Structure 1
Amino acid sequence: MTETKPLILVRPPHGLAALNIHELVQYWELVRTFAQKEILLRYRQTALGVVWVVLQPLLTSAIASFVFGKIAGFAQGDSAFFLRAFAGQIAWTIFGLSIFKISTCLVGNSAMLSKVFFPRLTLPVASTVAAQMDTLVALAAFVLLMPFFHVVPTLAILTLPLWFGALAVMALGVGMMAAALMVSYRDVQFVLPVWLNSLMVFSPVQWPLAKMAGKLGGLGTLYLVGNPAAILIEGFRWSLMGGTLLIAPWQVAYAALMSVAVLFVGLLIFRMQERRFADVI
């Protein structure tokens, strides 16, 4: 009787196993190292250093207060319009800055990608973590400004981590798509800033959604469905400023679902292109 030898089949993973998300836990120390490197490189040899984290959104909010508040008249009857614009700018930091930083994480580390093996997914996640450092510093500045505008936190602030997380998750998904495509098509680095600037103008970043609700009319719902990031930005502002949330519960659920869907699609595209990174970049 012949002895049956064990048979081992080596096959590529299929389904959700192919995404291999658990490797982030195994290499979390590497993610932290990459994030620290990004933070240090960004403010190296700058005279003001980390002050730019607060100065940039403050200057943008001041310009928005003049353009949308004084000229467009949105600040009429709203003494805290500047702070509302600042809150929207912080939300855009979570979303827009993360996408921009993630999109260049592969091209910016091309030499390392072509010479050393490590989980490529650690780079976009590290870029997301590094971008949120700017958000935390800006949030601290926002808290310090609240007494000057007589704004008192409400129970809505308890939902802040939810809006924060949803924006970061959506940004990570979009950023991974852009990063994977930029390896093969460098045109993405020119198209992406134009798209981000356009999206910022047409999102309630520098103007509250409440001021535009009447002007949008019946198109308001269609606008929010087409731009789920606007829902999250407005919700983020509401959690900081309080007041009435002009977003229906189903719209909040839709935005949360879209965040997860965008993350899944971005991760799928990233994994599909991952084998080509070292050869093409």
Structure 2
Amino acid sequence: MITLFTRPTPTRGARRGSPAGRARRAAAVALAVAAVLPLAASCAAGTSVLDKDTLVIGVKPDQPGLGVKVSPGKYRGFDIDVATYVARKLGKPVRFVDALSSQRERLLMDGAVDLIFASYSITPERKTKVAFGGPYYVAHQDTLVRTGQAGIDNVRDLRNRKLCQVTGSNSWKRVKEERKIPVVLVPSVSYSACVSDLRTGKVDAISTDDLILAGFATPGTTIVNAPFSDERYGVGIRSGDVDGCEAVNKAITEMYQDGTAKRLLERWFARSGLALTFTVPQFEGCG
């Protein structure tokens, strides 16, 4: 054990309350602080994504168009391509892992991942636990129903209908809590499971980001095309990593400026018929 400093023993020439005594105590405190600061700095070192040799990035494994696992460790989708671009700009190789909606904050807080690119909407509640770079895209919440299903033309028509509720997602809250629409919530583990429930009639509708719905919209299902919110897809990052956040934002800006964002959005979503946006989103700020 290292003793940083000891209390100076008062002497006849430097009593506790004397100017000399106070000066000695101040000098001892200064020495203690000087000893502690390097230790604190060494503890903080290596906590930024910029200090990592390889970035571990959490992505969705089951959202067509955004993130789908095609084999162990291999994924494809818009979020995967954006994450790969950002990592390349940071000069880092990447390893992708699953990040389900219910796991995202915990993965970051536990240090299991360095970044999250997983249709991760920025919300005030989430910002109390983690930080966000971006957003790298602003989606809009919409509704998916069975083709030919009558009476659902907008979110208000979900009144008394069965709505899929994915664990860890905030989308159902924007219907039931923010807009006070009395829906019957049917719990589900993922949006892919929701689509199965929609096709079998277990639920009447799925309401979430239009980019997510675009990936799931197949014969037998239809997007209502009545958006009612802005969903800012952020890059999840551990709180306090300001340098890493600013580097991520710089990379996202370059992605839009060099035309990569437009190319990726059209690659994955042009066939959906959604009105896509190709301008740099307004960032949250990293302070």
TM-score range, shorter chain: under 0.3
Could you state the TM-score of these two structures normalised by the residue count of structure 1?
Answer: 0.27
Q: Which has the higher helix share?
A: 1
Q: Which has the larger radius of gyration?
A: 2
Could you state the TM-score of these two structures normalised by the residue count of structure 2?
Answer: 0.27
Q: Which has the higher contact order (CA 8 A, sep 6+)?
A: 1
